[in-house]
């Protein structure tokens, strides 16, 4: 039996790794171990509970205001100790976080093969997103099994000289998680009714603008521009806005200062995944700098404005369901106003489509691990 250890540390990683963990636990050929670094503590625990994941190792590395080098050093030594203890046949990582970088490096130092879920995403700029673009490029160098979510990401890896035999086109596991969660909400009206009560302050007669924003490269002036744009959108249109605010003080500070007093702007704590999916379904448009939301929202038929200048997820941009607006206050406002006021433009962007997968990505990853790892 092959021993596989899955390592992740943030909420988005946990959401996207949960289907893989669930699938590998069904396998009679795999002994799965789970290590969480808790790079994000509270918002990670929410996802672990939702998908019934009990980690075998919890490094609990989250500290307030720690720098990237401090975090990465602690990750590298902490994960290294776990790998020395477990002696796995395969180290499974996801995406582009500091946990991903440190875990793949720790595996490389021990000559252990790495499986990289969501491999091959590229923005073309090491500074956008920062530090994620560097994290995933370094992880690629240490990886033996590249689980590419789209044909574009597969081609990126081929262009960098990765052996085609080591690349496996799987689809994105976030669609697996989304489809499962939407089905659970539909099958359990009592859960949906609970969320209706939780968000009872929302006006059914007003379009909902759902906002998420937390990227490091937007800290400072970028976030101030974003907040002023949100205020303009609500002031200029009869809409309501919900913003689950990331706990990082670089986010929470400007958001609460600039947006905290408007009656139609609701600043709330970060949400569990299920109520967030509920709000995505309920929303009219979504404005975000999140990678995962770019992938999920088009599947729900929701137009997305992405507050970044580049994206490593161009498929939805090409399909017309996502527009890059950067952090320009005026550009964000103009594009939001266009969606809110031009029904034809909205209808074009709201065509539900799913360029990122069919909900079977985790099964494909399991098959590769069983056959080749």
SS3 204: coil
- Range list of β-strands (E), 13-67: 30-36, 57-58
Enclosing H/E stretch for 243: strand 240-244
d(CA 92, CA 2): 13
Please identify which of the residues 136, 214, 364, 366 carries the catalytic annotation.
214
Please identify which of the residues 122, 246, 308, 313 carries the catalytic annotation.
246
Enclosing H/E stretch for 25: helix 11-25
- CB of 367 within 8 A of CB of 30? no
User: Among candidates 149, 118, 95, 129, which has minimal Cα distance to 310?
Assistant: 129
Please identify which of the residues 216, 228, 331, 338 carries the catalytic annotation.
216
Instruction: Tell me, yes or no, if 216 is annotated catalytic.
Output: yes
Please identify which of the residues 23, 86, 132, 296 carries the catalytic annotation.
132
Instruction: Tell me, yes or no, if 214 is annotated catalytic.
Output: yes
- CB of 213 within 8 A of CB of 226? yes
Q: Is the peptide bond before 352 cis (omega within 30 degrees of 0)?
A: no
Please identify which of the residues 13, 23, 86, 96 carries the catalytic annotation.
96
Instruction: Tell me, yes or no, if 40 is annotated catalytic.
Output: no
d(CA 241, CA 307): 16
265-268 and 240-244: which strand pairing? Answer: parallel
DSSP string, 247-314: S-HHHHHHHHHHHTT-TTEEEEPPPPHHHHHHHHHH-SEEEE--HHHHHHGGGGT--EEE-SS--S-T
Please identify which of the residues 13, 23, 118, 217 carries the catalytic annotation.
118
Enclosing H/E stretch for 346: helix 343-349
Instruction: Tell me, yes or no, if 118 is annotated catalytic.
Output: yes
Catalytic residue annotation? 96, 118, 132, 214, 216, 246
């Amino acid at each position: 039996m092959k021993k596989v250890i899955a390592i992740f540390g943030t909420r988005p990683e946990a959401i996207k790794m949960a289907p893989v963990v669930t699938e590998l636990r069904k396998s009679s050929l795999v002994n799965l171990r789970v290590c969480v670094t808790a790079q994000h503590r509270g918002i990670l625990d929410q996802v672990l509970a939702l998908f019934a994941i009990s980690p075998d190792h919890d490094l609990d590395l989250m500290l307030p205001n720690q720098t990237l080098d401090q975090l990465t050093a602690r990750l590298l030594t902490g994960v290294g100790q776990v790998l020395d203890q477990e002696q796995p046949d395969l180290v499974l990582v996801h995406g582009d976080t500091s946990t991903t970088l440190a875990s793949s490096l720790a595996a490389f130092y021990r000559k252990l093969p790495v499986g990289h879920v969501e491999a091959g995403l590229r923005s073309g700029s090491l500074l956008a997103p920062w530090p994620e673009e560097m994290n995933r490029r370094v992880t690629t160098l240490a990886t033996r099994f590249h689980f590419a979510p789209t044909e574009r990401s597969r081609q990126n890896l081929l262009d960098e000289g990765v052996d085609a035999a080591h690349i496996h086109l799987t689809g994105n596991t976030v669609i697996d998680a989304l489809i499962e969660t939407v089905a659970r909400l539909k099958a359990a009206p009592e859960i949906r009714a609970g969320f209706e009560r939780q968000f009872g302050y929302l006006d059914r007669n007003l379009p909902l603008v759902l906002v998420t924003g937390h990227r490091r490269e937007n800290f400072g002036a970028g976030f101030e521009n974003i907040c002023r744009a949100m205020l303009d959108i609500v002031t200029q249109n009869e809409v309501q806005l919900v913003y689950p605010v990331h706990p990082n003080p670089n986010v929470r500070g400007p958001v609460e200062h600039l947006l905290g007093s408007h009656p139609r702007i609701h600043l709330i704590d970060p949400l569990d995944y299920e109520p967030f999916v509920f709000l995505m379904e309920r929303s009219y448009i979504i404005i975000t700098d999140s990678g995962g939301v770019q992938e999920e929202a088009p599947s729900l038929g929701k137009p997305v404005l992405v507050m970044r200048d580049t994206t490593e997820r161009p498929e939805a941009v090409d399909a017309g369901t996502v527009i890059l607006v950067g952090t320009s206050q005026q550009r964000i406002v103009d594009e939001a106003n266009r969606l809110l006021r031009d029904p034809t433009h909205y209808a074009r962007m709201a065509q539900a489509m799913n360029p990122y997968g069919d909900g079977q990505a985790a099964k494909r990853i399991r098959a590769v691990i069983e056959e080749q790892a």
